[in-house]
Each structure stands twice: as structure tokens, then as C-alpha cells.
Amino acid sequence: MWGKHLRCAKLQKHIAKLRKRNPFWKTVDVQAVQDICQRIEKAYQLFFKHKDKGVRPPGFKKIRKYKSFTLKQNNYKFLGENRVKICSRVYQFWKSREIEGKIKTVTVKRTSLGKCFCS
């Protein structure tokens, strides 16, 4: 209506307050929430940029329909071979090539069949 949206930093501060009051938010990784806030801000920036072309505002998905999340600094650890520990769960992954350098982000994607893939 006014051509404005909640910025990423303010949204993250609001969610930090929610984490203290609501037990659901404590089950969600902080970095995953930060990534979602960044995705929301990017979607609104694109919407306001192309609003005159008939683009609709971004919609919100239910938590079960969300297909991926990204972890950026920690909460993942490579255990050797083809296993990675994310938060408290251990996943196997298929390594297409040897890993060179330092890994900075891990994205976990879920297919419609329920299989998870790390990249």
C-alpha cells in the first residue's frame, strides 16, 4: 500500500524476540531463519522494482512446503567419507568431486518424495 516492507535487520530483531517467547522458534536454527529473512527482503525488493509490470507481491509458504534451508557458518561438520552432521542429525551425501578449499555454506534441499540433498 505504501511501497515499503520490513527490512531484513528489523525482521531478524523481531524474530529474536519471538525466540524468547515461543518454543517453536527455538527448534529452528538461527542461521536458517536469517537466510529466510534475506530471501523475503530480496523478494520484496524485486516486487517493488517490477511492480509497474503487473508483478504480484511475494506469497508465503507453509512450513511443510518449504523445500530448502541454508546454513552459513556453523552447525554443520564434515565427519569424513561422505557424511555431514547438521545440527544434531547425521546425513550422507554423494561427493561428485573432491572438496577443495573451505566450505562456507551448506544448503539442504528436500524433493517432493522426501529425499534430502546437500550442496
pLDDT digits (tens, 9 = 90+) for 54-89: 778 787 767 666 777 777 777 788 887 788 888 777
Question: What is the SS3 assignment for 2?
Answer: coil
Torsion of CA 47, 49, 55, 61, to 10 degrees: -10
pLDDT digits (tens, 9 = 90+) for 4-21: 667 888 888 888 888 888
Instruction: Flag whether pLDDT at 44 surpasses 80.
Output: yes
Bridge partners of residue 76, in order along the sequence:
86
pTM above 0.75, yes or no: no
CA distance 65 to 83: 26
Q: Got the DSSP string for 47-98? A: HHHSGGGTPPPPP---GGG--EEEE-SSSEEEEETTEEEETTEEEE---SS-
Spell out the domain ranges in the chain.
8-64, 68-118
